[in-house]
Structure 1
Amino acid sequence: MQRIFSGIQPTGIPQLGNYLGAIRNWVGLQADHECVFCLVDLHAITVWQDPEALRQQTLAQTAVLLAAGIDPKAHILFNQSAVSAHARLGWIFNCVSRLGWLNRMTQFKDKAGKDRENHSAGLYVYPNLMAADILAYKATRVPVGDDQRQHLELANDIAQKFNHDYGVDFFPAIEPLIPPAAARIMSLRDGTKKMSKSDPSAQSRIEMTDDADAIALKIRRAKTDPEPLPSEPAGLQDRPEARNLVDIYAALAGITAAEVLARHGGEGFGPFKTALTEVLVQNVVPIADETRRLLEAPDHLRAVLRDGAARATEIAEPIVSEAERLVGFLK
């Protein structure tokens, strides 16, 4: 059984795009993989975080993951900062990775924009820490979307250079695990922008803690256009808000956009939004209810993370200790 590593930042409340793009896929991967799931709080502080908010959001993210179906007994769930192996191997990889490689990372350029000189060094080198996250467990498969594929290529470059520099065959090659085609979930207020938990407007997203009333209100207010739904997907071209709502319905119902339009083509958005709300409530509200229940027991959530960190350390410590020995650290 191959080992998977995957991480998610514990910042903000997870929203529908996070669930459909990552969390739901994690739940499915548990059936036939050894899974190491991590709340990457070291990555989170590459931009400033309010300390108390970060602690609370780490617990909230843990609760959402458990409520969605992550099994912390059969697999491992922990927060990154609780396992020192990540930071230690991350520093080694800072010294293996080349500046030229990091300069090619498009995600840093996108995040930093024209103000790159004022961003943290951590944001610049975080792909090296991402490589350490994976290779500290010698994980061979990582579920990635298009925005992380380049970082996985860098992780393989680092592994190969480490092996070459020290004359060993120590770190394995990492295989990208491309999840089943998933809809790109966009903002409810602007169909050209991704749904984001950092958007200033909570009306732009469905949060995984929303109750039925909040979901109904957000969908009722979701931006649309004056035309009825088309009868086939080609008719959604140049209608980003309509396409987004159809994609959300399709993703949650487990059908194609064509099947959604076969049911609802020709309808105005009033009836369709009612149907979409029903699908959202069926999928989101059980997770939200269980999340709220779990958040009433923060000591239990902390215990889950402590147990996960202990089990993660059992795997990572001998691997990273051997990497330290290989580079010449006195052990």
Structure 2
Amino acid sequence: MTQFKELVFSGVQPTGNLHLGNYLGAIRQFAALQNSYNCVYCVVDLHAITAKRQDPKELRHQIREVTAAFLATGIDPKNHIIFNQSQVPEHAELAWVFNCVARMGWLSRMTQFKDKAGKDRENASVGLFAYPSLMAADILVYRATHVPVGEDQKQHLELTRDIAQKFNNDWAEDIAAQGFGDMFFPLPEPLIQGTATRVMSLRDGSKKMSKSDPSDYSRINLTDDADAIATKIRKAKTDPEPLPSEAKGIETRPEAENLVSIYATLTDTSIDAVLKEFGGAQFSTFKSALADVAVNKLAPIASEMRRLMDDTAYIDQVLAEGSGKARVLATETMNGVKDIVGLLRNTK
């Protein structure tokens, strides 16, 4: 890996239909972070089975598709790590330790569990309830210092910090005795970047863009070709008013705010700058410009993803090599955890 002092960890679930929201909210940032941090990027396939049974063939396809997205957006597997979670058993091993550190009350307050479990919480899987402990293990098994997160993941990162702090406090004397100083696990910091950390549906600006929306016109998939991208933007829901010249003029216009935010992020500019350029224009004019920008940015990624998906042997090789690198780091952490907690480990 590149020799930087700090390490970034992030993961993406292989649950199908990667879309513009995944790209702008997460994956787009990953390549840029390579220039400043050691980066570990994970396809979190163990998380994908917490809510429901996945079709095995489709899950394998989706693991490779997320990997293809990482590669197509410019992540370098030679200098950083790309792998899938289930090939590194230390994730699950550390998650069990964290299940014994985390408190039931902490996990019960997680809003994502409440949302996903709904009213039928008694039938939710234990895996869904303990999901945040595994997420904490994903991050801390590499002793990551920074995590790029969207607004919907901030609570889980706060829990990760709580788990790390409690572990450090509970075994403070043992951590010091093993020569690790005042703390074993760092308290990872959030990296919230960019204008559009939360991308909304193209059909309803009050709802987050989602792969589960029944309308394919609600989202731009990362595998969409140029024609599909342009068509979806032209058909995106808007209101009849022209664009304002100031940001405060779109705060109560969710569809307008969403499209302007997408344009700003794709062009690496601000919402104010976009409105200064297009203020007073009709949406037909703005949509045409947005379609051009989106096709220019996204169509090459889609083309490269399709090329990579035709070479599954290469993708599997990247994952195998990345998993080998990841296990070196993860094993070192787990050896330290076992020594601190008092578990015997294989010293051969």
C-alpha separation between the residues in 2 aligned to 1:125 and 1:231?
47
The amino acid across from 2:19 in the alignment is Q
In the alignment, which residue of structure 1 is the partner of 2:144?
139
The 10-residue stretch of structure 1 (167-176 or 84-93) with the greater mean CA deviation from structure 2:
167-176
- AA paired with 1:141? H
Structure with the bigger percentage of helix: 1
Contact persistence 1:13–1:61 (CA under 8 A): no
**Residue 37 of structure 2 corresponds to which residue in structure 1?**
33
The answer as to whether partners of 1:183 and 1:251 remain within 8 angstroms in 2 is no
Residue pair 1:183, 1:248 contacting (<8 A) in 2 also: no
2:237 is paired with a residue of what secondary structure?
Answer: coil
Alpha-carbon shift at residue 173 of structure 1 (Å): 2.2
Whole-angstrom CA distance in 1 between matches of 2:298 and 2:249? 28
Letter in 1 for 2:338: E
- Counterpart Cα distance in 1 of 2:67 and 2:198: 24
Answer yes or no: is the 8 Å Cα contact 1:3–1:140 preserved in 2.
Answer: yes
Q: 1:157 Cα shift?
A: 1.8
1:107 — aligned with what? Answer: 112
Q: Alpha-carbon deviation of 1:240?
A: 1.2
Structure 1 match to 2:179: none
**2:239 aligned partner:** 225
| Matches for 1:240-319 after TM superposition, within 5 Å | 240-319=254-333
Residue matched to 2:249 = 235
| Residue aligning to 1:122 | 127
Cα distance between partner residues in 1 of 2:90 and 2:104: 23
1:216: which partner in 2? 230
Per the alignment, in what secondary structure is the counterpart of residue 114 of structure 1?
coil
Q: Deviations over 1:41-90 (max 9, x none)?
A: 01111112221111001101111110011111110000000000000010
Note the 1:177-196 alignment, pairs <5 A. Answer: 177-196=191-210
1:47 is matched with which residue: 51, 63, 84?
51
Q: Which moved more, 1:104-113 or 1:5-14?
A: 104-113
Q: Alignment partner of 1:7: what SS?
A: strand
Could you say what secondary structure the match of 1:41 adopts?
coil
2: distance between equivalents of 1:243 and 1:175? 28
Shift of 1:184: 2.5
Give the TM-score, by structure 2 length: 0.91
Picking from 2, 16, 26, the partner of 1:12 is 16
Deviation at 1:261, TM superposition (A): 2.0
Aligned counterparts of 2:34 and 2:250: Cα–Cα separation in 1: 35
Asked if structure 1 preserves the Cα contact closer than 8 Å seen for 2:194 and 2:265, the reply is no
| One-letter amino acid of the structure 1 residue matched with residue 191 of structure 2 | L
The alignment yields a C-alpha RMSD, in angstroms, of 1.4
TM-score scaled to structure 1, two decimals?
0.96
CA distance in 2, matches of 1:84, 1:33: 24
- 8 Å CA contact retained: 1:183, 1:247: no
Matched residue of 1:78: which SS? strand
Cα offset, 1:13, TM superposition: 2.0
Q: Is the 8 A contact 2:141 2:330 kept in 1?
A: yes
Q: Hey, what's the Cα distance between the residues in 1 that align with 2:55 and 2:165?
A: 37
- SS of equivalent residue, structure 2 residue 118: helix
Q: 1:18 to 1:75 in 2, by over 3 A?
A: same
Q: What is the CA distance between 1:181 and its match in structure 2? A: 4.1
Percent identity between the two aligned chains: 60
User: Is structure 2 residue 73 aligned with structure 1 residue 59?
Assistant: no
Count of aligned pairs: 331
2-side partners of 1:231 and 1:171: how far apart?
48
Q: Name the CA shift for 1:161/1:173 in 2 (closer, same or farther; >3 Å).
A: same
Q: Which moved more, 1:265-274 or 1:83-92?
A: 265-274
For 2:235, the aligned partner's letter is R
Find the aligned partners of 1:139 and 1:231 in 2 and give their Cα distance. Answer: 42
CA contact (8 A) 1:15 1:206 kept: yes
Question: Where does the alignment leave 5 or more consecutive residues of structure 1 unmatched?
Answer: none
* 1:85 match: 90
Task: Letter of the 1:89 partner, please give it.
Answer: L
What displacement does 1:21 show?
A: 0.8
